Amino acid sequence: MTTEPGKLTPGILGTGSYLPAGVVPNSVVAARAGVTSEWIERKTGIHERRYAAECEATSDLAVAAAQAALEDAGITPDLLGWVLVATSTPDHPQPATASLVQYRLGAVHAAAFDINAVCSGFIFALVTAARLLAPDLGTERPYGVVIGADLYSRIIDRKDRRTAVLFGDGAGAVVLGPVRQGYGIIGSDLASYGQHHEMIGIEAGGSRVPASEKTVASGQHFFRMQGRAVREFVEAELPAAVRRLLADCGIDVSEVDHFVPHQANGAMLRDVLPYLELTRARTHLTVAEHSNTGAGSVPLALDTARRGGAFSDGDTLLLAGFGGGMSIGTALLRWGGSTVPAPGLRP
């Protein structure tokens, strides 16, 4: 590319997603967790979720989503400079899941690494990738792929109604590359609240409490969450994060056309939305069909909306993730502005 780097900014050129074939309705989850299907729907807004097949791991979902995004953008893997995977359910503790994805994509020139900010992970990875790409937008490899992927079916206690009813498996991805100034990612806000780290987590399996027969027998390898505390955290901190980002970007809430949040819990999102005051924005929710897919939920919802023709050139999108750590990530972007004739990119 010959365009001067100063006249370009990182933006989304393509989107993709992948959902496992296995559909798990509320009736199946309810029977295991000792609740009813009606209870799940009322408490979460979820009707069904997907569980990966036994032969599938996080990297498999991530590769499929990334391939779809690359095809959509019309970008070949050898042009990628970066492969970032946001996940809290990696294939294994090491090496990074992103290394497997990079190899299987054939992204031979890309550096690859994982980011774990739990359900905020995709936003953290998106912002990181955009900042890494910014100096390279006028070079031969000005592209990166950012993937959010999680397999929560492998870490939930299916008898625990506080978590088993909420989570499923899935992955979403975006291709980042050069777009005209005024488009692309125009602002972001990442925040961590480590004082609340105990709200969400898995106690065993790391260096502090290594996995053992004892930890498995006591269920310490399962994902646990303090549901009420998490809800109170989101209700207090997410509106403040959104207001902070919009103020920093000089954007009024009335100028936001689309809101794509982490699909944590449909009932919780319904309750918190009025506090965001996004009166003009169309909120994109896929939680009823996809459930909470961790770091995969924001890019899954983004791809679903994009493929449904929701976005027009120049639309302002607000993305928001929140999750363990605790952490909140928000990003504001203007849709369109591509500088390359990518056959898959549509307004």
Active site residues: 119, 262, 292
Residue 306: both structure tokens together:
């994009």
Q: 80: burial class by Cβ within 10 Å (0-12, 13-18, 19+)?
A: buried
Alpha carbon distance 44, 41 (integer Å):
5
Question: 334: helix, coil or strand?
Answer: strand
Q: Residue 137 in contact with residue 6, Cβ under 8 Å?
A: no
Q: 279: burial class by Cβ within 10 Å (0-12, 13-18, 19+)?
A: exposed
Q: Count other Cβ atoms within 10 Å, centred on residue 31.
A: 12
Residue 157: both structure tokens together:
């206690």
Return the closest-CA partner of residue 273 out of 332, 308, 318. 318
Q: Can the peptide bond before residue 25 be classed as cis, meaning omega within 30 degrees of 0?
A: no
Amino acid at 233: F
Alpha carbon distance 320, 260 (integer Å):
6
- Cβ-based neighbours of 221, under 8 Å, separated by 6 or more: 155, 202, 203, 204, 205, 211, 215
Q: What are phi and psi of 200, to 5 degrees?
A: -140, 135
Alpha carbon distance 279, 282 (integer Å):
8
Q: Residue 126 in contact with residue 331, Cβ under 8 Å?
A: yes
